[in-house]
Amino acid sequence: MKKVLVGMSGGVDSTVTAILLQKEGYEVEGVYMKLHDKEDYHEENFARAQRVGAYLGIAVHFYDLSKAFKEEVYDYFVQSYQDGITPNPCVMCNRTIKFGKMIEYADSLGIDLVATGHYLKCDGEFIYMAKDKSKDQSYFLCQVDKAVLPKLLFPLGDWIKDDVKAYAKNIEVLEDIAIQKESSEICFVENDYTEVLQRHMDIDLAGETLDSDGNVVGTHKGYMHYTIGKRRGFFVNGAHDPHFVLAIKPKSNQIVVGTREKLQESEFEVEQINLFEELIDFKCLIKVRYRTPAVSGHVSIENNRGRVVLDEPVFGLAQGQIAAFYDGERLLGGGVIC
């Protein structure tokens, strides 16, 4: 019987994942990973995971990864905004923590396979989009090390989210879990990312708003309040058309704004490229944000830096965000927009 370690958050998706794998005949163990310092949050959710473990008759381990998470994910998140860059902490967490440290922990327990409640598919060689396209999370795994793919299982890849919820409601131990509010995309952000930044620095330092020619046209409340494409929260003298943030200048505490058409980009570069097969010059579909549709384009790579040319422009391209590459529903990999 094959052993599998399931990342259990105390929520519906990870719980159903553990149940499905046990029904398939796997010898299941669970692990609750403490990633941040919200103690009440962890106490409540670990208790849920333990209750499910007792119901299934499986061990649920508690693994404190808060130090590694702070160094690899949280500090990167804070520093990125300080540098005027828009980070993607979930992509970083999946590479270094969930499918990095968790794999190492499974190895230490003598367990070969790891599973989570992510909505995507994996055949051991490649990652594919989930059946439920509205919940597909393949984008967030484009930076995962190719070497770990043979160890990964994602039972919910063939499920629709509503069916998972309905399945959970029929299991007595899951009654309160099945109706709980879904967690936010960034686990350590409760309302707004600026609340996190305010714990570490003064972000309310008023500065100048520039137009694309470098002229001062207004003011803003501090550059870390803005991301590329943001429309509100700054002042532009005499503007009649809506203006959007085009660029951020952290060293001078300035933002550059302009009309929507100036947000259009059809060419850009990526670095920190991660691919699941050897590719140098290729056509593919490209997603530049999680919630935006993929656009066809061409990628050429040299010295682990890539040039991307899109067949049609996208809006709001942000440095630090992730460009994920697809061949249809198959994830080819991705890179960091630079």
User: Which amino acids are annotated catalytic?
Assistant: 93, 187
Query: Which stretch of 95-109, 229-243, 303-317 has the lowest confidence by average pLDDT?
Result: 229-243
pLDDT at residue 161, rounded to an integer? 95
User: What secondary structure does DSSP assign to 158-197, as a single string?
Assistant: G--HHHHHHHHHTSGGGHHHHTSPPPPSSTT-SS-HHHHH
Q: Give phi and psi for 260, each to the nearest 5.
A: -60, -40
pLDDT at residue 40, rounded to an integer? 82
Listed residue (326, 9, 15, 323) closest to 156, CA to CA: 15
pLDDT at residue 146, rounded to an integer? 97
Listed residue (263, 251, 262) closest to 207, CA to CA: 251
Tell me the sheet residues that pair with 232: none
pLDDT at residue 180, rounded to an integer? 52
Return contacts of 169-174, CB within 8 angstroms, 24+ apart. Answer: 171/19, 173/51, 173/52, 173/55, 174/12, 174/15, 174/52
User: How far is Cα 36 from Cα 45, in angstroms, rounded to an integer?
Assistant: 13
Bigger pLDDT: 303 or 151? 151
pLDDT at residue 87, rounded to an integer? 95
Q: Dihedral, CA atoms, 219, 223, 226, 231, nearest 10 degrees?
A: 10
Instruction: Give this prediction's pTM.
Output: 0.93
Domain ranges of the chain: 3-178, 202-258, 264-337
pLDDT at residue 176, rounded to an integer? 60
User: How far is Cα 37 from Cα 199, in angstroms, rounded to an integer?
Assistant: 13
pLDDT at residue 189, rounded to an integer? 83
Task: Answer yes or no: is pLDDT of 174 > 90.
Answer: no
User: How far is Cα 39 from Cα 43, in angstroms, rounded to an integer?
Assistant: 6
Q: What percent of the chain is helix, strand and coil (3-state, nearest 5)?
A: 35, 30, 35
- Taking residues 84-91, report their average pLDDT: 95
Q: Are 202-258 and 264-337 in the same CATH fold?
A: no
257, 234 contact by CB (below 8 A):
yes
150, 106 contact by CB (below 8 A):
no
pLDDT at residue 238, rounded to an integer? 75
Query: Which stretch of 71-80, 96-105, 117-126, 171-180 has the lowest confidence by average pLDDT?
Result: 171-180
Task: Answer yes or no: is pLDDT of 113 > 70.
Answer: yes
User: How far is Cα 227 from Cα 194, in angstroms, rounded to an integer?
Assistant: 11
229-261 per-position pLDDT tens digit: 999 889 898 777 899 999 999 999 999 999 999
Would you identify the CATH topology of the domain 202-258?
Answer: SH3 type barrels. (2.30.30)
Read off the DSSP letter of residue 206. Answer: -
pLDDT band at 191 (very low <50, low <70, confident <90, very high): confident
Q: Give Cα separations from 220 to 203, 216, 255, 326 (angstroms).
A: 11, 11, 8, 38
Task: Answer yes or no: is pLDDT of 154 > 90.
Answer: yes
pLDDT at residue 37, rounded to an integer? 83
CATH architecture of the domain with residue range 3-178: 3-Layer(aba) Sandwich (3.40)
pLDDT band at 132 (very low <50, low <70, confident <90, very high): very high
pLDDT at residue 184, rounded to an integer? 56
The answer for 167, left when phi > 0, alpha when psi is -120 to 50, beta otherwise, is alpha
- Taking residues 201-220, report their average pLDDT: 95
Q: Which CATH superfamily is domain 264-337 in?
A: Translation factors (2.40.30.10)
